[in-house]
């Protein structure tokens, strides 16, 4: 699975676009890793300060607007 995220590598650092995924070799034991756009290597949780997954909510909102039926919790 891949989820679009924004990534901050260090406190106060720039936000970068990337994906949270468990489809990489670096994703040992099924734990997700982050791949920042333009980078070849994946980052583990110790190499990322913070993730912003609001892009997921935006994608779901746009899917709903496109006519997809969304299950609500």
For 6-64, what is each residue's pLDDT tens digit? 999 999 999 999 999 989 988 878 789 999 999 999 999 999 999 998 878 887 788 78
Q: What is the pTM of this model?
A: 0.78
Per-residue confidence (pLDDT) for residue 48, from 0 to 100: 93
| Domain residue limits, the chain | 2-65
Per-residue confidence (pLDDT) for residue 27, from 0 to 100: 84
Q: Is the pLDDT of residue 73 over 70?
A: no
Per-residue confidence (pLDDT) for residue 57, from 0 to 100: 83
Distance separating alpha carbons of residues 72 and 30, to the nearest angstrom: 27
> Is the sign of the CA dihedral 44, 46, 47, 51 positive or negative?
positive
Per-residue confidence (pLDDT) for residue 39, from 0 to 100: 93
For residue 53, which of 69, 28, 34 has the smallest C-alpha distance?
34
């Amino acid at each position: 699975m891949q989820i679009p995220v924004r990534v901050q590598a260090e406190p106060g650092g720039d936000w970068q676009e990337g994906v949270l995924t468990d489809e990489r070799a670096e994703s040992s034991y099924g734990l997700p890793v982050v791949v920042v756009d333009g980078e070849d290597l994946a980052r583990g949780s110790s190499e990322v300060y913070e993730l912003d997954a609001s892009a997921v909510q935006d994608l779901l909102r746009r899917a709903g607007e496109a006519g997809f039926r969304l299950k609500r919790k």
